[in-house]
Structure 1
């Protein structure tokens, strides 16, 4: 009996490993708007759903780093669901307080940009498997807003 259970567990584990899972990528990170207390950037994600039914997204968590320091982090709870057999575009707003931007003055320098690393965790609810997190990361430069962007 124990041998039969062991074979069944191995079979199920093998099948779950081979199950196709959604794929995601970070397409872009751009300046969105400036407020009194922060600069808001927008991370754009593309998520391909291989299933013939919609898949709920539990949450999106993010961490924005610059010069080895965390300058913004947070979560977007319950951002909707992935379209069935399609690619869903998601937008993740990232707010960076002005005080943090001022502490990065050395990095900003004359070129008015911030070197960054963005880490995103996209948690979705897959049938049978349960919650599954897709880790994403990207590096690049974010331009600071100019006077013309503000007005």
Structure 2
């Protein structure tokens, strides 16, 4: 009897492992502006849904790091759903407080940019399987606007 259960368990694990899953990628990260809260950034995430039904997105978690130090993090609860058999574009807004930007002055002063790593965790609700997390990560640098860019 235990052999039969083991075979059934292996069969199900194999079938679940071969099931198509949504795929995602970070397509762009840009500086969106400066306001009283801090520097605003916008990450664009492209998610491909292989299923013929829409899939709800439970939440999006993000962490922005610079020089191995977390400079912003947050959660976007219930951002909508993925379109059926299509690609959905999601916007992930991130704000870095002015006080944190000032603490990064050494990195900024060298080349007037901020080296970053953005980690995004897209948590979706797959029918039958439950919550499924798609981890995304991107490294790069933000070129900061000059004073002439701000006041032009």
Say whether the fold is shared (TM-score over 0.5): yes
Deviation at 1:13, TM superposition (A): 1.1
Deviation at 1:6, TM superposition (A): 2.3
How far apart are the structure 2 equivalents of 1:148 and 1:12?
A: 61
Q: Which residue of 2 aligns with 1:45?
A: 45
Q: Which residue of 2 aligns with 1:125?
A: 125
How far apart are the structure 2 equivalents of 1:145 and 1:88?
A: 30
Contact 2:37–2:95 (CA under 8 A) maintained in structure 1: no
Q: Which runs of 5+ in 1 are unaligned?
A: none
How far apart are the structure 2 equivalents of 1:23 and 1:32?
A: 26
1:22 equivalent in alignment to 2:10: no
Aligned length: 151
| CA RMSD after TM alignment | 1.4
Deviation at 1:148, TM superposition (A): 5.0
Contact 2:59–2:122 (CA under 8 A) maintained in structure 1: yes
What are the residue-to-residue correspondences of 1:127-142 with 2, within 5 Å? 127-142=127-142
What are the residue-to-residue correspondences of 1:1-151 with 2, within 5 Å? 1-109=1-109, 111-147=111-147, 149-151=149-151
* CA-to-aligned-CA distance 1:50-93 (integer Å, 9 cap, x gap): 11110111111011000110000011111000001111000000
* CA-to-aligned-CA distance 1:34-57 (integer Å, 9 cap, x gap): 211211100000001111110111
Deviation at 1:149, TM superposition (A): 4.8
How far apart are the structure 1 equivalents of 2:130 and 2:72?
A: 28
**SS of residue paired to 1:27:** strand
